[in-house]
Structure 1
Amino acid sequence: METIGLKGMTAGELTKKVLDNTELFILDVRNDSDYDDWKIEGATIESINVPYFHLIDGVDDVLDKIPDDKEVVVVCAKEGSSVFVAGQLVEQGKHHVSYLVGGMKAWSEHLEPVKVGDLQDGGSIYQFVRIGKGCLSYMVVSNGEAAVIDTLRMTEVFENFAKEQNAVIKHTLDTHLHADHISGGLKLAQHTGAKYWLPPKDADEVVFNYNQLDEHAEITVGNTKIHIQPVYSPGHTIGSTSLIVDNQYLLSGDILFVQSIGRPDLAGKAEDWVSDLRNTLYSRYKRLSEDLIVLPAHFGKATELGVGGKVSARLGDLFKENPGLNMEDEAEFRKAVTENLPPQPHAYQEIRQVNMGKITPTDEEQRDMETGPNRCAIHDK
């Protein structure tokens, strides 16, 4: 029976509230371990966890914990449990209560486009914030053409956005072979007739055709001088390749983040790749302009979200403030990036197999593989 006054809140609506710093109270009814591993966070969010099995017989025990002066959103894995609990709260007289439509699965998949800035000869660059998982994708738009970088598997979002910009997608690029999420780059390229680019040193085992993303590649979007210049930057993977767009923006992939640096262990090569990672960060990046705006492929915490949800930082500022760029002692650096790392991403080995084209799981299996936060940084603080 439908509860009068019970409302659903979509992941998109919740995202906008988080980015607008709206005060919210989250009642998460998933199991303790799921909540501890991955939750909805934000600067103005208060959150508690009371597993659903404690609330099956009623919500009396939590009524005094539910505020009357904030919006309340009940959250579960897929939606069903949160509908029941939210309905119980409404029936007990609680106002401004809603449930998250689609649960944490929907939260994980929502992409929020945020304009980063304009390009020198016309056009713009946009960041797509996957707020529930910390993934970041990009679209460069110029003169009716577009390139998408580090495309996520929800490819229809990019297609629809390009149409809104009256642009045809001509290129899709992956900065490296991803291990924490399933790439939509090849799928989007095949669907739109675009060229798909992948660093060749990450492509030894792929089973599909691709264009080689290396320092000899020339990729231009539109008829203006908006060049995407690849910069070989190994360390997270052996093929990791950064991109300089319009001499303004450094798309750093999973090498450099706003508050941390990339981890070298997701292909089982941590000891081998430490020197590459240090050389990229402390030598190759040092030779770049300090005025470049760093646009990473991930963020770790809600505190990295800037105005409107944009995740970015000036390269020169990161050399002053990012702990990962300020370890003068090489032994200290080696220890930091090989020991006491966060848990590896959920199903990362299988995700790498998908991104090589070796296995083709169903849509639901892909969703399950991507459950949880990204863990591409050496730390998340």
Structure 2
Amino acid sequence: MKKQQLLVAAFLFLPAICAALPLETIVLPPGFEIEIYAEGVDNARQMALGNQGTVFVGSRKAGKLHALRDTNNDGKPDQMIELARNLFLPSGITFHNTDLYVAEVDKIWRYPNIEATLPDTPPPELVYDKLPNKSHHGWKFIRFGPDGLLYIPIGAPCNVCESETPFASIIKLNIDTKQVTTVAIGVRNSVGFDFHPTTGQLWFTDNGRDMMGDDLPDDELNHVTKEGQHFGFPYIHNADVIDPEFGHKASNINNTAPALKLGAHVAALGMEFYQGEQFPSSYRGNIFIAEHGSWNRSSKVGYRIVRVELEGNKVVNSEVFASGWLQGEKSWGRPAAVLTLNDGSLLISDDAANAVYRVSYSETE
């Protein structure tokens, strides 16, 4: 077993000693408000909600896991517990039954019955250790599907290249039998997905390749209608952009077009179907996507939350829901993932500002 440093002390939130985050720059639709839910959450990435309301938070380069607890039931966490450190890019986490599942680059761990032991961390159990150990696009976003299987993306180990499976794919794992099934291929780097609340079908974001200029190719929102579908990488992007290096093989694949083009270099990460009841009824069933923001574009894009509306399985509209982390060419934060709380408010993790925000709605007069 890989050694992990488990921490057993709960750390109460203290008044911030650094400059306040400029939430006044965040623009939201009328009736919505944003507030800081938690600060000092190192490199906050995917979040998961426990049965008792605990918000678990993964990280990437920080190598840590955190738990946020609201012990006095005032709607905001008053404890932040560092559950573990020294993990290998533990970006992806999910909660299933009573257990917390954590994805390192090459392993899946389970922390059994974790809320019963908090603030102590239970010893982790190794679930699966046969994932590739390549760190390039190796961090994960994980979630259990309606079929009870654990869905795991495995990014391409490069900017653009041909690679053997399971690279550039999404798989699903039976955690009991260890059987693995390929769900989608030709997926460069998916760091966010969710399941349609009615059909149960998988929708996922995918980051397009770099070094084709400022405006090509788009990041994508994709929809899996049949297991084993090919989504183009590395041969063709967005269904109509032939790759300059590998496009001569594009005619050999049955490429699936994206459900929505999101824009080049926006770095679409975590996404979720909104199923809460606090927001207006028109928001129910919409997809919220966290756009982490560009890193190598001549003018920056992304750094926002996008709302996508569907009718059945068809995208009918997309618009910016929250923006302001990017001011001109300088950014003070980078949204990484979203999570709906039991009260219907929406959490947004920010791995640059080391924070988690809460967006709530109240009707305006």
TM-score by length of 1: 0.29
Of Structure 1 and Structure 2, which has the larger fraction of its residues in strand? 2
Greater per-residue helix proportion: 1
TM-score for the superposition, normalised by structure 2: 0.30
